[in-house]
């Protein structure tokens, strides 16, 4: 994994939550008529593997088409020792992008938004070269726009004033202060700036805030009683911890009081539970949130760079990942204190959602950071996905759990 600044919502590290964990030998869509039950001992082994790497807690929910399996290990609050439960809410980070993309595609269904129209049409004078950047390019990260979280000073400044609430204008000023990664449509680069702009378009068109849009058009229709868009702060959630590994002994900073909605916005401000996030992705892939035509648009992917640690493609706010155990669809997210992953089968009938309540906060990679990603991204997430699909976990992953 390549990192140039701190880890949550980095230009590349953020997307690894969704899919890089699952890289391996690609397979076509998996169909298992009678999947075996989830192996509880293996899931607990994976959870312990994660906790040894630093996160105080780990929660997982697997629906393999036959049973719903849940597991929570560790604590939700280090200061009180409160145990983590399977019903705890957590910051879902870039899983939010799928919510934002859903709202955009609903606008397409309404005839209010055109995927291949230039951004200049909807936000005149806001985006440099906006006449050549389309809405689709924002959604699938081919715009070339620099991600504001890629600015080397962004997280340093946040640590100095964690309660600062960024305006869209402030975030765009940071992003547009850097040269684009490439000309519009000439490459692929994950950028949170794309989704800030999508949020601006949605709010301008509807006259409603993102929290209201998410509630009225997604959470209430689906009955997601424990999911909301932080505006800017969260309510009671499992505490998240920024972990510094450089000294050799992990140091924890509780970031649960930091306002995730103040800087992550349409790119990462959703708070949810494993139950709700599972229902969201299941409903999404079963076409319950917009027309079949828009679902096909969402699932139309562009290839990821050849050297990228993800095998698959990116659609409109949705990853297709050719994992070690089969093809899955979903997203994921890293905030200052959480790493979450949500994947599903293409028909939406199987889902797997997990969250680790800690995230590396070192400016550069070290042994502790590497161990964290091997445990969560390249260990537990693979186990969870394979269990969902009813496929054997790769031997090398099992070896890493027991090594």
- The pLDDT, as a whole number, for residue 33 is 52
pTM of the model: 0.93
- The pLDDT, as a whole number, for residue 195 is 98
Block residue for tokens 């949605």:
202
Size of the chain, expressed as the number of residues it contains: 403
Q: Active-site positions?
A: 94
Phi/psi of residue 148, nearest 5 degrees: -60, -30
- The pLDDT, as a whole number, for residue 34 is 64
Residue 299 to residue 316: CA distance in whole angstroms: 7
Domain 13-402 carries which CATH code? 3.40.710.10
For 226-241, the DSSP string reads: T-EE-SSS--S----E
- The pLDDT, as a whole number, for residue 306 is 87
> How far is CA 98 from each of CA 46, 180, 386, 394, rounded to the nearest angstrom?
27, 24, 22, 29
Q: What is the mean pLDDT of each run of 10 residues along the chain (403 residues)?
A: 34 39 38 75 96 97 97 98 98 98 98 98 98 98 98 94 97 98 97 98 98 98 98 94 96 96 97 98 98 98 87 96 94 96 98 98 93 90 96 93 83
CA atoms within 13 A on the CB side of 356: 32
- The pLDDT, as a whole number, for residue 307 is 83
Q: Which residues of 119-138 are buried (b: 16+ CB within 10 A; e: fewer)?
A: bbebbeebbeebebbbbbbb
**What SS3 state is found at 187?**
coil
Residue 48 to residue 153: CA distance in whole angstroms: 34
Residue 400 to residue 395: CA distance in whole angstroms: 9
- The pLDDT, as a whole number, for residue 57 is 98
């Amino acid at each position: 994994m390549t990192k140039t600044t701190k880890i949550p919502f980095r230009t590349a590290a953020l997307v690894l939550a969704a899919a890089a964990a699952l890289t391996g030998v690609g397979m076509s869509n998996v169909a298992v008529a009678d999947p075996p039950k989830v192996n509880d001992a293996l899931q607990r082994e994976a959870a312990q593997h994660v906790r040894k790497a630093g996160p105080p807690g780990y929660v997982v929910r697997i629906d393999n088409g036959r049973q719903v399996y849940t597991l929570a290990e560790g604590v939700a609050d280090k200061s009180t020792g409160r145990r983590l439960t399977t019903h705890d809410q957590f910051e879902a980070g870039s899983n939010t992008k799928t919510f934002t993309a859903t709202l955009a595609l609903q606008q397409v269904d309404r005839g209010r938004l055109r995927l291949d129209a230039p951004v200049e049409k909807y936000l005149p004078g806001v985006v440099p070269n906006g006449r050549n950047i389309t809405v689709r390019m924002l959604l699938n990260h081919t715009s070339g726009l620099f991600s504001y979280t890629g600015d080397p000073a962004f997280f340093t400044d946040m640590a100095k004033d964690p309660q600062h609430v960024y305006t869209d204008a402030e975030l765009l000023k940071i992003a547009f202060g850097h040269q684009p990664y490439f000309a519009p449509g000439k490459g692929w680069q994950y950028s949170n700036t794309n989704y800030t702009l999508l949020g601006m378009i949605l709010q301008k068109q509807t006259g409603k805030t993102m929290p209201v849009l998410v509630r009225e058009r997604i959470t209430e229709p689906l009955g997601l009683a424990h999911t909301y868009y932080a505006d800017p702060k969260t309510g009671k959630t499992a505490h998240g911890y920024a972990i510094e590994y450089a000294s050799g002994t992990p140091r924890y900073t509780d970031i649960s009081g930091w306002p995730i909605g103040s800087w992550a916005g349409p790119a990462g401000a959703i708070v949810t539970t494993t139950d709700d996030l599972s229902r969201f992705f299941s409903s999404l892939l079963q076409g319950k949130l917009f027309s079949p035509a828009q679902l096909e648009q969402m699932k139309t992917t562009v290839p990821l760079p050849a050297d990228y640690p993800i095998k698959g493609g990116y659609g409109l706010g949705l990853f297709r990942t050719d994992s070690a155990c089969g093809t899955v669809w979903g997203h994921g997210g890293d905030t200052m204190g959480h790493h979450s992953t949500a994947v599903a089968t293409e028909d939406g009938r199987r889902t797997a959602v997990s969250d680790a309540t800690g995230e590396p906060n070192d400016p550069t990679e070290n042994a502790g950071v590497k161990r964290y990603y091997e445990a969560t991204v390249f260990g537990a997430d693979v186990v969870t996905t394979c269990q969902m699909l009813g496929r054997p976990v790769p031997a090398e992953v099992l070896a890493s759990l027991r090594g």
